[in-house]
Amino acid sequence: MTRDDVLAALHRNILETLPDLEADELLPERNLEELGATSLDRLDILFGLQEELGVRFPVESLSPNRGLASLADLLSDSSEPR
């Protein structure tokens, strides 16, 4: 799976979990905390990504302060097939 696949899935799951956000707010340097995601929201995003992409990610990967581009890089590098 490519970084772009992960980033697209990340955006979809963020917008599904945080429906008050607009797609244009998902800038690469923004982080989940800035976007208003709580710890429960981050778990929902993680579980949605795992389901959509068919891989497992470490919970620590969704640090609230990691930018979306950095997060996509980390997730695409650390994905483990189920």
Give the model confidence (pLDDT) of 28-60 as tens digits.
Answer: 999 999 999 999 999 999 999 999 998 888 788
pLDDT of residue 74: 84
- Residue 82, pLDDT > 70, answer no
> Within a 10 A sphere around the Cβ of 42, how many other Cβ atoms?
19
Q: Which stretches does DSSP call E strand in 1-82? A: 55-56, 80-81
At 44, list the tokens: 């929902």
Can you list the domains of the chain with their CATH numbers? 3-81 (1.10.1200.10)
pLDDT of residue 79: 59
Q: Are 3 and 73 in contact (CB under 8 A)?
A: yes
At 61, list the tokens: 């990967």
At 57, list the tokens: 């990610």
> Within a 10 A sphere around the Cβ of 82, how many other Cβ atoms?
8
